[in-house]
Every structure is written in structure tokens, then in C-alpha cells.
Structure 1
Amino acid sequence: MTDIDCHAEQLDEVEALQAIFPDEIELTCDDAGQVELSLLVSPDLAGELGDKPLLLRAAAPPDEAPEISGGGYPSSGSAPGVPDVKNTVSQDKPRLGRSVSGQHAYAECEVRQLPPVQLQLKLPAGYPASAPPDFRLFCSWIDVGALSSLCQSLDDHWEQAEGSAIIYTWVEALRVEVLEFILKGPGSSDRATLTLESSDSCSVEADPRAVSECGTPMQTLQDLLLYDKGKGLDIWMQQQHVCNVCFSEHPGSHFVLLGGCSHSFCKHCVKAMAQIHVTEGSIAELLCPEVDCRAEIAPSALTQVLDEQGYERWQTLKLRKALTTANLVLCPRCEENGLETPVLPDPVDEEDEAMPVARCERCGYVFCAKCLSLYHGKEPCLAPEERAQQAAMRRLGTAQSVAEKRKLKREAQKGYLVCVDVGEDMLPIDAAGHSTEDRDSVAEGDKVIAVHAGVPDKLTGRALWDAKFDNICDLPTVLMESARPISIRLVRTRADAAIERVRQRRLMEELLTLKEIARESQPCPQCKVRVHRTAGCNHMHCSQCRAHFCYRCGAQMDSEDPYAHFKTGKCPTFDDAEVRRIAAQERQPGFVDHELQRLRAEFGDQRDLFLQFQQANGMQTAHAGGRGNVAARRRMGDVPCPTCGQWNGRVGNLNHIRCGMCRNSFCGHCRRRIHGVISHHYRGENACPQHFRAPE
């Protein structure tokens, strides 16, 4: 067989291999025209072990052996940021332990995928007629002694099939023998175990074609664990999963790993939740939706669902929360210029009555660290209205207002148009072209720079009169004799006065807005963020710092028992106006206030007071009505809780209901309590429907 015939057979064999192993083969050619290729041979662990994982074990040298007592790391559970899915991802860290004698340390972990063995081939001119392929074996977890035995096995296969295509036979032989190497390790009959060894400990002569890339057994063990996690995540991304928020099924690539825990939800639900909390500023509630988890969502997950503006706002809110915890404050002047400069206030002597002073290194602003206004020494902090006025004055004097001032000057130089239509009186203009009185938008002293024919929206052609080209003496004649309508262009001669009027107007609007906010809100006693109450009791829970305080007096309350503040008699749980609003709302047919009923059941004294108020005003109580009231509730889709009997309304038309009294989940269709994963109750044969259909 000539070299040309051999080369043709090589190309035919390579084409067949590409069809059989499309993802595992890589083909190249050297300068001499010889064919070079690389094949990845992966052991079929799933086909041999089924659902059982492979146990890896590595001996730790004495200088690396940690002090271990009682077993070390947990044997299962996925790492933070990796979905916890059965048969996909193994454990987070290796288990550490010692031998019975206590002199030898070891580490072990479970995996389901191993990196492939790489077979590099160069086909000589005489292959397959007379010469075998030149090959090398690479592996990151098999020691050099075992790889040398695999090289000898490939040589034996060539001797048996010399003169024919051998590459496919080698690949299948490698796949089988690598799996045998894994299974022959020490272990129980029902547990496959692979012991990792260092290549330096090999006692047999190494084959130069065997290249072992494994380092120390401990490092190899960690590398294999990371590889297993990566492959498991790739498999998980390709599978279909149910989102436990919307109960919809999506591929794993449409899910977001929360990062702080092993849970994941579809991008649509995570995006909606993140946008709501970031927009409202309640980033403390940006937690895992799982009730038993509530871990914080990692920034890597937020970057996938928030746009650039939303993510910057989240970072700003996060920074402010951290500064509050660290006793730092933001410079108010820099903040109004679009910058965020944290400042550490100077320490204050306990005997000194002066307020804490803060000095900004960036802009040099010296301010009170308590009220963020100009430093006032031993004087008491300014009232909220005075602080708002200072803040408004700073905002109007910033670089942004300077830009607005320049814009107003440019607009003043450009001028403005005033239309004089048929039958209207001409503007009073003196001989110098200036307006002699205020009229509508025209101020006294404004100067005429041009006169155009037509209305301002339809100006065409050259101006009837232009101050740049025409004589000022011709202006009165043009104004009086030109056919109506005409448009007169004027410029402000008192631009500074106009700018000052705009500044004063904006200052007044700013002060009125801040005054209204101060009147309708209460500052949090811990982070000073103003909180506005729309309805409900006087117990407030700050969404920024999670502090509990009273909306009526502003005092901070105990987080363990916040309602103890109302039992002292200083402040009522509900204001009189709120009681009257709730009473009027409850008189509407079919209305049930679940939160109010929960508070009544928890605080008996407040509940009795409200019942007395209802009886004194001739109102119907929430428990009155008998069978007719129950029938009306059922028609509306309300369902009593099977645990505590509390009536609960549905969210939309979902059959999954969470009781407002005992906080237990139950099904609105079968009236049974739901344990475990909510979505499992609505899946499978004879399962309850997920959505409620109202009777017609």
C-alpha cells in the first residue's frame, strides 16, 4: 500500500471518527502534511454506578493534616450559589478524618463526573499499513504508573490488529480500562472508591508517552470536586425546573442562582422582586423567597436582573446602610453634587455639650454629624423646617444650578417670540426698541431684535426687520405698517433678575415639598429615614435599618416585643381617625381585614376597646352574621384555615393560601395543610388544581 493510499485511509478514518465523536475530537495537521488529532475519553460512571456517586479518597501529608475531631465537614449539601439538585451536584467540601490509629489523615468526597483522559495522536505516513499511530496519554487524576499500563495495553491492541484502523478500538479500550481502574480500588461491595496517589510515589518505570498532570492528592481531590460541580451545573442548566414562586416550568438557563444560598428562581420573578425592593428602598427585604431560608441575595445575582441604574441605586442604599452601622455619615454637600463621601465624625467628650462635628476631606464642608446641617457648636440642632431650607439652598447653589443658570442665559440671548394678531394692540415700544411696560410674558425693558411675518410656528423667509442689518429708525414704521399677524422677537435685558425669580420659585417649591413630607411622615429614630404611614396601626418597621418604632411619638421599640410600648398607656395602638376609617371600611359588604383580626387576637385589651367602640356606634362586629355571612365569604372564594379556623382571602385565583393568623400554608381546594414544597402538592395524578375557578 503506497503512502497516498495510506493517507486516503487516514482521512476516511478521521471522517468516521468525527461522525462518531463530534464533541470529543479535535483535528489538526502539521507542516509535513501528517494528520494530528486529539480525542477526549470520558469514563461512563452513570452507566456503571447508576445513581450512586463515586467516593474519592486522598491521603493528606502530616504537615498538611488539620486538627480534626468528630468528622469534619458535612457529607452533603451544595455550595452557596449552586442549585441543590439531586444527582447533579455533590458536596461542598471534602470530609476530613483520621485513621483508627490517629497517625494518618485523609480526605474524601463524592463525585458523579470525572475529567476525561486525553489521547493525542499523530498518524505517520505508513499508518495503517505498517506503522502504528504515535500517541500520548494525558490525565489529571490518574498516576503515571497506571497511565503507563494503559499505554502498554494500547500497544497490545495494535499488535493484534496490525494493518487495520485502530483508533476507534483504542478509544473503546481506554473507556473500558479506565472504568476498570476506577472500580478495582478498595471499597465495599456497594460503594465504588478511587484512591488518589501522587505520581512521585510510582515505583514502576514510567512510559514517556504517559503524562500525569496530577499534583498532590489533596490538590487533585479539590480540582476534581470543582470539575464535578461545574459539570453538574451544566447538566442542571439544560434540565427543566419549576419555579417555587410562580410555579412555572423553565429550563435551568432561565433561572437565577441567588448566591447566598443554594436556591434558584426564574429570572422574571427575581427581577420583579429586586425592582420592587430597590425602587422602594427596602433592600433589607431583598432575601431568598424560601420561608425557611431568607438568605441575602448576592450581588452576582442582582447584576443579572437589574439594569445599570437599578444596580447603582442598590449599591447606594447598601452603602448607606453600611455607613449607618459603622457610625459614618455622608457629606450632604457632596451628596447634592452627585458624589458619595463617607465622613467619620470627630470623637466627642462625654462631658462636652457640643454636638459631634464632621469635616469632609473632599469639599471641606464642616457640618453637624447629628442633623447634617451647618455646624452649630453647643446650640441645639435646627428644626426640620430650617434644616430643609439649608438643604434647599445648598441644592440651588450646586454645580447643577450653575448649569441651569448658563442655560437660562443662552435662552435669554436667543430671545423669545410674541405674536401680535389681527385686531390686537401693538406692544408699547420706545424709539430705542425697548418695551416700556410689563405685559403678559413681556417684561419692561426687553429689547426687540427682529420682526417676522406670520405666527411663531410658521416663520418663513427673511425677517421684516433685523437689528443686525436694519436701522433702528425703521422699527416703528415696520411695526405699524406690516400686515398682521406679525411675530416680534425680544431678548431679556435683565437676565439676572429672571434667573433670580426662577431660583426663588424653585426654592419655595422645594421648601413646601419638604415641609409637606415632614408633616406627613415620621423619621426613624435609628437611621433618620422619614417613613410615611398610609394605613394601619402605630407600630412601624423601618425598611432600611429594620428598627421598630412608634409612629405617634417616634420612640424606638423593642424588636422582641414591640407592642409592649402600647401596653403602657402612653400611645394607642390605633389612632381615632384610623379606627373610624377601619370601621367605615368594615361596613362595606364582604370586607375582612386579616391583619387587624390578627392584632385583635394577639392583644386582647386593644381588641376589647375596639369592640366597645363598635357596639357604642351600632356597628356590626366581624364575627356576626351567621350562615349568610359564611356563604357570602365562600362565594367570594375565602377559605377558613384548617389549623386555626381564621378566614383568609385568596391572592388572585391561586389555591395556595397562607393564613394571616397562624402563618401556615394550606390548599384552598382540599382544605388541607401543605407540608414541604408548595408546588409538589399541585403536581402528579389526582393532584389539586393550582388555580381556583369561581362558581358562576
Structure 2
Amino acid sequence: MSDITIDDVAVECSSMQEDEITVLESIYPSLITVHENPDDKPGRLLSLTIPIAFATPHEIHLDTISGPSASLQLSHLPPLVLRVLLPSVYPLEEAPRPIHLRAPIPGGEKAGNWLPKLKLRQIQNKLVEMWDEEKQLNDEGMGIIWRWWEWVGTGDFLTDLEMYNGSSLELSISPLLSPSTFHTMLKTYNASQIHSDFRQTAFSCSICLENRKGKSCVQMPGCGCVFCTPCLSSCWSLAITEGSLENVSCPSVSCTKQRALRERGAAMDNDVTADLVESVVGSSLKDRWEDVKEKRKAEIDPSYTICPRPSCQAAVPAPDVPVSITFDSRFTSKIIRLSEISSTATESTLSSEANTKTDSTIPTEDRWARHRSCPKCSYSFCLYCNATWHGPHTPCAFPQTSLIVSEYLGYPEGSEGRSRMEMKRGKANLERMVAKYFEDEANKSWLESKTRPCSGCGVRVEKSHGCNHMTCGRCNSHFCYRCGDPIKPTDPYKHFNTPGKSCYQKLFDQEEIDRFQREAAGGEVVGGEGGADEDWREFRGIWEW
């Protein structure tokens, strides 16, 4: 050892420093800075930005002079910034010298440190002690920067500095910041780091089963399931186009099963936001999703109605606070509606008397409850007649189409009564009204005879074939097509297996069973040795069960 000079040690240490810095820069490329040394002074000057990430979220308590003010769950804390000088004979003979240590608050250049100065000095002293401990164990100095990084980056230094109160980390708030501002800064930094970690991590898409980086994926809020953006975009685009709002959510098998067991309408109460939908399917489909969502809300919530303007059709909620307005009856004026001028004297009298009689018994504040204002187009209208708001004292002018058509058809063809009505309202107009009236009646008759209303949302459902256990495509309600009663999704066939019910053992109607048997007997679907195919055996097993 006597032949080894100080220059030889410096050369070896310089090589070891190069190796240590190269390894750290390959792992943390943007967090280590080697400063220039234009004067060729001995040693190297480094700046280390060490982020702090916990393995699991930690509870953080923020303390003020008056006491604890708030708590939050964090997985990341702002980094410590260390400027350190590596002597020319580090790591063999001398310890690295921490020159300056800061704990800057993110987003607040003049807000100071999130750790007090006393704690920062204790950290600096501990960093030097760690090199001394390594030298005592190995009889010579060792590279210590990696160990520093682990000690700070995992948050172990917080335990060594006794900053925990039980399982909670106690942090003091800088006197330059208010508690709410400090709370927001920490929470914002934590969210940005979680997002950054997600973008750099590889995930397996549950739809296409390919591994993709997080920057090409979407993580569902709430459940945390991850899918690649193209797959989720295809699923959601189809659901929005078809108007299936409940499918604009997590498409995983487990989450889909949970939604199927929820009550009607609960499928809309998920954590999917408009910003998330827009990032996946674009602004055009996002707008359609919002429109359909508003309309569906109006269909489910009886307090909502739809804006009557054809160009709007937005969901209009009921007023938050009922309006109570009283007027002195001495100052009410007579208002003549233009729509009433074209009606006959008899119709005007009957309509006015009926409406006046009805409205006279309704308090003024209740009549104001009819008022609605569309939040989208600001159209102010009456809830009862959908006309522009006519005030609480003017009766609604309900359409008299059915009465006019009935009166017109009541006159014989070519009679004076028909001629008089044709001259007054126009023959073409009356013929259109009659055609529309018969069309509506035919549609109503067909719907009553060929369809069954959903027990959940009331939409009419037609069964083309199959069993009587129906699932609504709009609200996912399960119901019986024969009687219309709701069915439990967890045990749908109990309804058809309960003695005494009108649907007992009638999962399939007799005509369906006869059709199955005719097709099987006719040889259209047969098995290998002339028997029924496996699919037909399954059908037969269902209806016999």
C-alpha cells in the first residue's frame, strides 16, 4: 500500500464516481445534474432531485399553530433537492459533503419548504453518518449516493426523524401559506405523480389482451380496471350510438355483473365523467352522451320534463324552491289568446268555462309550480300545456284535435256541417288531422295488442320469439312478458316455478313449444342419429323444467 500515491487514489475514485453517476443517471435520467467545473477544481458538484413515493398511501396530518387542521391520504410527497460535493478521493477516503438541502413546495417558488430547517439539518447530518457507517463496516469508503436515494425516496427518513404519530405522518404548515393552500398543493402534486406513474407502467388490456403503456390506456375511476384506449373507445362509441348509457362504464366481467344486480337507474350513477368520455370517444359522441343522459334522467325522475322546443329537447328539472306569489284579484286583466280566435264560439265557451272552473280552485302558488325554464335554451314554458309561459292566471289552451276530428266525422259526407268546418279550417287541414288521428289510433291499438310495457321504465317491448323472461334494453329491468310483473335478476325463473301464479310453468308459451317440436320433428335441426340436437335438448329441458 506504501507504493500507492494520493494521485492513484484520486484516479481510482474518479472512475468509481463515474460508474456511480452513470448507473444513477440511467435509472433517474432527469433527476441528476452534474454541474460544470470550468475552473477545474477538485471534485464534482451534483444536484439530486429525490422524489418520495410510499409503497402504500399514508395518512398525512397538517398541523398549524392552533392545532391539527386537516388530513389526507397521499402516496407521494414533494422531492428533496440536494446539492452535494464529491471530493476527489470520494468514495474511498472522504465522505460526500452535502452543501445545501431543500424541500420546496411544488407550485410555490416563494412558499418555502414543506419540512422545517431543523429537520433538513438532521437529514444532512444523517447522510454523512451513513458514509461513516459503511467505512467502519468495510474498512474503506463505499459509494453511498444510492443508499441515500433509497433512504429518502422510500420515506424511511421520516421514521428515523420521528415524524410519525402512530400511523399518521405529522407535517407542519409553512407560515407563508394558508392550510387550504398547502393542502391543495400537496394533493395536486400527489395526483400528478400518480398520473405520471400510470403513464409509464405497462398494463394488460382485458379486451384485446395486449400489453400497453399507461399513456395508451384508460383507468376506470372507482374500480381501477385498465383498458387500452382503442378498445374502450369501440365499446363506448357503440353504446352511445345505441343509447345504452349503462354500458358507458367499466366493461370488465366483474363490474358488469355488479351493475346487473343494481336497482333500476343505479347504472347511471357511476364515476364516469364528461371529461373522461370526451378523452375516449371525442367531443361529438360526448355531446350525444350528455344529451341522452339528460333525457334518460327525465324518463327516470318524475320531477324532470323535456324541453318542448324541437331544436333543444333538454331535460328540465323542477324548481329547487316552490315559488309563492300572490296577486290582488282587483288588478288582473283579461287576456285574449290568438289561438282562441279561430275556434267556434261554442268551443271557446266550453273550453274557457272548463279551464276557468278548473283553475279557479287552484291556489296561485300551485299554479306557479307549472312554470319551467330550460337550463339549456332558457325557454320558459308551462308544464301542463308545453306552451310559452302564460302566467299563473291564464288557463292553458289544450289542443282540441280529437274533439274537432270527432265532430267532423260525425257529420255525413257532403253535409252542410262538414262544408262549414271545411270552409273554416280548410279541407286539406282537416283531412291531415283525420289521417293523423286514425294513424295514432292504429298505433295505439297495435301497441296495446302486440307489446308489453317494461315494468321499470315503461318502454313498450315486442317479443318476436323465445321465452317470456324479458330484459329491457333501456333500463336493464327484468320482467315477465305474460303478466308484466318484475323479476329478480338473481333468480329469474322462480317467477315461472311458483305454483298458484298465472305464469306457473309458462316460461315458454304453448305456440313456442309447438313450433320447436314441429321444427325438430320436421328434421330441420337434428342430431347425429336422428335425435334432437343438443341445442334443442337444452330448450326442451328449459320448458319442461
- TM normalised by structure 1 equals 0.40
> Greater helix share, 1 or 2?
2
- TM normalised by structure 2 equals 0.49
